[in-house]
Amino acid sequence: MKKIINRPADFVDETMEGIVAACGDHIRFLNGDRRVLISGYPVKKGKVGIVTAGGSGHLPLFLGYVGAGMADACAVGNVFASPAYTKMAAAIRAADSGAGVLCLYGNYGGDRMNFEQAIEDCAFDGIRCRSVRACDDAASAPKENAGKRRGVAGIFYAYKCAGAAADQMRDLDAVAAVAEKAAANTRTMGVALTPCIVPEAGRPTFAIAEDEMEVGMGIHGEKGITVEKLMTADRTAGLLMERLLDDMPLPDGSEVSVLVNGLGGTPAEELFIVYRRVARILEERGVKVFMPHVGEYATAMEMAGLSVTLFRLDDELKELLRAPACTPFYTNANK
């Protein structure tokens, strides 16, 4: 596959330079460090800081949600690789304004280990931290082992609600409770049609036949739960919804936000075709949809495919979801 890049070894740093050059009114490097981004908006004294981190290759995850009303800082790793704990610690220190820091990230081994070390280091500076991990990928572990599930596109909702709670000047425990509540009410499942190519590897992350699709594929190319013959958009939406609703039943009268997320190589038109069917399935079940999101929110380089996320709402989460936010890759100013 052809790529428009310079040296593969420079891929991440040059991506970061381009993003800051284009979005300097939202974000900036921390002391010139191209692997730590902080919000360009003034930080309220006494506001809980929100820090995230993760590997590159998933734009707009993770750095794209740094800005007003969402995260305050992000440490960035190589493609599909965790950042160093020193970068996470630098992000935590930069985000702290005296009220402590929530570390909100996906449930991956390297990120868990490095955040634990970073939090331990920052504790010596008197910075209190709480950790919340997104575990929304319903395909990656059975319901009874939900704590082992991967964090995928649904982490967007945790960023949005926790960021809004922090902006309301809630304390650290309260902001963490909102993030935990959002994460507990989020389920995601996706399908992959093609692999992707990590620039420095130069080869596909997996192989799949032209007439096949992998159900439950992870955003790093992790194996899914089944390989199926390529389905129509309606059948694909039906399969994903059946599995999601089995994992998180929604009684008549429930309200959700829906995220139909492109993995990097799927046209927006196809995402809307899938959303059309998802919306009808929910309507038939008496479930209302509030603030649907359709687009690219968590990609895997140029992988073709998509994921569907259901975010179960109550009055508090609904209020926090519609609170204003503005980052380089997300704004809800028109919602």
What is the per-residue pLDDT across 190-233, written as a single tens digit (0 to 9) for each?
999 999 999 988 888 888 999 999 999 989 888 889 999 999 99
- Type of residue numbered 41: Y
Query: Using 50, 70 and 90 to split pLDDT, how confident is the model at 334?
Result: low
**Sign of the CA dihedral running 310, 311, 314, 315:** negative
Task: Tell me what percent of the residues of the chain surpass a pLDDT of 70.
Answer: 99
CA-wise closest residue to 189 among 272, 251, 248: 248
Q: Single out the catalytic residue among 187, 220, 277, 293.
A: 220
Domain ranges of the chain: 8-184, 186-331
Mean pLDDT, rounded, for 266-279: 98
Residue 260 has pLDDT above 60, yes or no: yes
Residue 335 has pLDDT above 70, yes or no: no
So what's the pLDDT on residue 67? 96
Determine how β-strand 73-79 pairs with β-strand 49-56. Answer: parallel
Residue 60 has pLDDT above 90, yes or no: yes
Q: Single out the catalytic residue among 47, 58, 293, 312.
A: 58
d(CA 292, CA 283): 13
> Do 8-184 and 186-331 fold alike per CATH?
no
* Residue 173: both structure tokens together: 């425990």
Clarify whether 58 is annotated catalytic.
Answer: yes
Mean pLDDT, rounded, for 14-28: 96
Residue-wise pLDDT tens digits, 85-118: 999 999 999 999 999 999 999 999 999 999 999 9
Query: What mean pLDDT, rounded, does the chain reach?
Result: 96
d(CA 245, CA 303): 25
Q: Which CATH number fits domain 186-331: 3.30.1180.20, 3.65.10.10, 2.40.420.20, 3.30.565.10?
A: 3.30.1180.20
CATH 3.40.50.10440 fits 8-184, yes or no: yes
Q: What is the pTM of this model?
A: 0.97
Residue-wise pLDDT tens digits, 23-50: 999 999 999 999 999 999 988 899 999 9
**Sign of the CA dihedral running 306, 134, 288, 245:** positive
Clarify whether 293 is annotated catalytic.
Answer: no
User: Tokens 């649907």 sit at which residue?
Assistant: 292
So what's the pLDDT on residue 147? 94
Name the least confident of 165-169, 218-222, 280-284: 218-222
Cis peptide, bond prior to residue 62, ω within 30 of zero:
yes
